[in-house]
Structure 1
Amino acid sequence: MARSLDGLVLAPVADQAPGQVGTSTRFAYHERDGRIWAEYEGGDVVQGFLVGTREADRIDFRYVQLKTDLSTSSGHCVSTVVELPDGRVRLDETWEWESQEGSGTSVVEEVVLDAPLS
């Protein structure tokens, strides 16, 4: 099993369709006892939340988000956790909207935050 997602920040490697998450979106993940949750924002998303479960390297969660036009949307996603050769984490995702038409795949990867200046 790949390492814990707790405390990691992840970002999409490519933009999705307009009105969805994109490369400027940041996900702040938490993990405890098989539970996964995250807050996210950036790009067309003003505020988003996801909550679900993790079993081994499989994550199953639902998400809901508020967009810049003040509309909301929600959906379901199943992700596979992959540890990259450089030690970072990647999620290979298959998602589907529940509040509207549409589905697809995406990839998010751990963002390496700059070290604070000393």
Structure 2
Amino acid sequence: MPRSLDGLVFAPVADQAPGQVGVRTRFTYHEEDGRIWAEYAGGDVVRGSLVGTRSGDRLDFRYVQLRLDGSTASGHCASTVVELADGRLRLEESWTWESREGAGTSVVEQLPS
């Protein structure tokens, strides 16, 4: 049985482009019966939410965010959950904006408790 994401806090390992998530962004995940959701904020993101599903070590979700400049953006993300040598979790992500052009990859890691 994969380890639950419920209550875990993640942060990106590197900054993305301006106006997107960065190393100061924090994601707080929740999980119940194959459903996942999270709130996030920090850096250029005032408030963000994601909602989706989990099947084994695969996450599939949509996200929406409000940025400091007052603009909003939304997209789709597919992630793989990987356990690190120290027991923390990493999410290896492939995302695509749906509200504008662009796609990419990113990595977020569980913060130590």
Q: Same fold (TM over 0.5)?
A: yes
- Provide, for residues 55-104 of structure 1, a one-character-per-residue CA deviation record: whole Å limited to 9, x for no partner: 00000000000000010000000000001110000000000000000000
Deviations 1:1-59 (A, max 9, x none): 53110000000000000000000000000000000000000000000000000000000
SS of 2:38's equivalent in the other structure is strand
Kindly name which structure, 1 or 2, has the bigger radius of gyration based on alpha carbons. Answer: 1
TM-score when scaled to structure 2? 0.98
Following the alignment from structure 1 to structure 2, what is the Cα–Cα distance between the partners of residues 95 and 52?
13
Q: Could you list the structure 1 runs, at least 4 aligned residues long, displaced by more than 6 angstroms after superposition.
A: none
Between the aligned partners of 1:41 and 1:91, the Cα distance in structure 2 is 17
Report the Cα distance in structure 2 between the residues aligned to 1:54 and 1:6, rounded to whole angstroms: 12
8 Å contact kept, 1:2–1:82: no
Indicate whether 1:87 and 2:87 are aligned. Answer: yes
Kept in 2: contact 1:2–1:83 (CA 8 A): no
C-alpha separation between the residues in 2 aligned to 1:107 and 1:41? 16
Match of 2:61 in 1: 61
TM-score when scaled to structure 1? 0.94
Q: Give the aligned residue type for 1:58.
A: R
For structure 2, the 5+ residue unaligned runs are none
The unaligned stretches of length 5 or more in structure 1 are 114-118
Matches of 2:4 and 2:90 in 1, distance apart? Answer: 12
The CA RMSD over aligned residues, in Å, is: 0.7
- Corresponding residue for 1:98? 98
Q: What does 1:1-118 align with in structure 2 at a 5 Å threshold? A: 1-113=1-113
State percent identity of aligned pairs. Answer: 75
Q: Distance in 2 between matches of 1:9 and 1:25?
A: 10
**Residues of 1 paired with 2:61 and 2:73: CA distance?**
14
Q: CA deviation at 1:112?
A: 1.0
SS at match of 1:19: coil
